[in-house]
Amino acid sequence: MSPNLADRFADYALDINYDDLTESAVHETKRRLIDALGCALGAWDADSPTAAERVAKLSRSDQGSRSLYGSMTSPDMAAFVNGILFRYLDFNDTYLSKEPAHPSDNLAATLAAAEVAGSSGRELIAATVVAYEIQCRLADAWSIRAEGWDHVCYGAFSTVLGAGKLLGLTKEQLVHAQGISGNAHMAMRQTRAGELSMWKGAAFANASRNGVLSTLLAREGMTGPAPIFEGEMGFFAEVSHGAFDIPDLGGKGGADYMLPKTYIKYWPAEYHSQSAIDAALQLRAVIGDVSQIESIKVETFDAAVEIIADPEKWRPKTRETADHSLPYCIGVALADGEVGLPQFAPERFTDETLLALVARIDVAADAELNKQYPESIPNRITVKLKDGSEHQREVAYPRGHAGNPMDDSEVEEKFRKMADRWLDRPTQDGILERLWALDEQSSLSPILSEFAKAN
C-alpha cells in the first residue's frame, strides 16, 4: 500500500492536464455540466437553495465567486448555494459501486474555484475530471455507509483536489487542504436514513463549501492534520474501519478515466429506482387501469432495499423521502404513466388513493439480481391483477445508464425542459453553445452570468 494516499492524490491532481484527457472525457464533462446546470434551473425556486442564497448574500465579495442566482459572495458560499441547486431534485448524475455517488456535485466546487481563479474552460474540464476520478475511485475502494457515514465524506477529498488544482496550490498545500477538509467534514449517514430532510440535498454542497474553504486556507498557509488517511486516528481508523489502496487512476498506466463511466439520470429520482421506474412505465402501458391491480411484487438487489425501501418510504412526508422511495416511485409511475417533477409535489406524494396503491407493493432482495449489481441495476416487477392475470417486466440498464446512454440531443432536451420556466430560448441557445465549446472559453463568468436572467 502507498504510505500516504493524500500525497498520491496531490501528485495526480497536479499531473493531469487538459492535453492528457481523452476525447470522451472532454465531451462527457461538457454533458455533465449541461446536465447539472439544467438541474439547477429545475430547482430554481425551491426552498433549500433559496434559503442558502439568502445566507450567501450576508457575505458579499468583489473578488469572490457568484452563485447562479447572480450574487457575488465568498467562493465557499457560492459552492454551497450552487451545490444545493445541482442536487435538490436528485436529478444530477450518478455512479454506483461499493459506495454510491453523485459526482457532478463536485462541479459546485470546481466552478467556484474556477471563477475566483479566472480559469479557462480547459482548466475547468481538467479539474473536474480529477474530482470525478478521486470520488469514483474512493467509491470503488470501500463502502462507508455500513459504518454509519454518508457517501459525501468522499467529497471532502475530491472537491479539494479539483478546486486546489484550479487555485494553483502546491503539492504540500494540497496535502494540507485534504487534511483540513477530511478532518472537518465527515457526515453521518443519518442524512439518508428514515424520513429525509432538506439536508439530504445540501449534504454534498456542504462538503463542497468546506472543501473550497479548506483549499483557500491551505493556500494562505494553514496546515492540516496528517496523515489524514493512515494516521492513528485518521480516515482508515475512524471512518472506513479498514485500510484500502487506490491501485489505478485515470490516464496513468493505461487506466480509463472514470467520468465517462458515470450515468446521467432520465427521471428525477434516486438512481437505484431508475430501472424500476422504467419497468413500471412499461407495465402501465399494458395494464392501463391501475384500480385492477391486486398486488405488486418487486424483486431487486440489496442496495436498493437498504437505501430506498426502508419502512418510512411507503408513506413519504417530504419530497426528499418521496424521490428516495422505491415503492412510491413505482406506484406513481403505474398511476400516472410518467415520472417528472409534478410527481414529487406534496399534493401528489400525500394523495391517499395513490398511497393505497403504494401499500400493495412488496419489495424483496433477489439473490440472482444482487449478483448483477453494481454493473447493472436490475429491478423486476410483477403485477397481479384482480382477474388473476400477471404481468412482469425486468430492466437492468435504464435510459441514461452507461450501458444505455442518453444522446446529446436528449441531454439538451432535459436542460431545456427545466430551463423553459426561467430562461427564453435565445438565452438557452447561447448558454448551450458556450458549454458545448467549453474548451474554447477563456473565462467561465460569461456563462455563469447568464443564469441571473432567471431571477
Domain at 105, CATH number: 1.10.4100.10
Q: Please tell me the distance from the alpha carbon of residue 416 to that of residue 288, in angstroms, as a whole number.
A: 30
Cell for 422?
A: 426561467
Identify whether 420 is part of a domain: no
Q: What is the mean pLDDT of residues 57-79?
A: 94
Is residue 4 classed exposed, middle or buried when 0-12, 13-18 and 19+ CB atoms within 10 A define those classes? middle
Parent domain of 122: 5-266+431-454
Give yes or no: residues 131 and 42 share one domain: yes
Identify whether 301 is part of a domain: yes
Identify whether 422 is part of a domain: no
Asked if residue 337 has pLDDT above 60, the reply is yes
Identify whether 402 is part of a domain: no
Give the end-to-end CA distance of the chain in Å, rounded to a whole number: 51
Q: Which residue, 395, 423, 441, sits at the end of a domain?
A: 395
- What residue type is 197 in one-letter code? S
Identify whether 137 is part of a domain: yes
Give yes or no: residues 277 and 372 share one domain: yes
Identify whether 90 is part of a domain: yes
Give yes or no: residues 140 and 240 share one domain: yes
C-alpha angle with apex 136: 91 to 51, nearest 5 degrees? 40
What pLDDT sits at residue 342?
Answer: 95
Asked if residue 354 has pLDDT above 80, the reply is yes
Give yes or no: residues 281 and 262 share one domain: no
What pLDDT sits at residue 288?
Answer: 86
Identify whether 426 is part of a domain: no
Q: Please tell me the distance from the alpha carbon of residue 135 to that of residue 116, in angstroms, as a whole number.
A: 23
Q: pLDDT-based confidence at 252, cuts 50/70/90?
A: confident
Q: Please tell me the distance from the alpha carbon of residue 287 to that of residue 304, in angstroms, as a whole number.
A: 25
What pLDDT sits at residue 1?
Answer: 41
Q: What is the mean pLDDT of residues 403-427?
A: 97
Q: Cα–Cα distances in Å, from 389 out to 174, 278, 282, 336, 386?
A: 62, 21, 16, 21, 7
Structural domain total, the chain: 2
Identify whether 400 is part of a domain: no
Q: Cα–Cα distances in Å, from 33 out to 111, 338, 399?
A: 10, 25, 19
Asked if residue 201 has pLDDT above 70, the reply is yes
Give yes or no: residues 285 and 234 share one domain: no
Tell me the DSSP string of 310-360.
Answer: SGGGGS--SHHHHTT-HHHHHHHHHHHS--SGGGGSHHHHT-HHHHHHHTT
Q: pLDDT-based confidence at 3, cuts 50/70/90?
A: low
Model confidence pLDDT, tens digit, residues 137-176: 999 999 999 899 999 999 999 999 999 999 999 999 999 9
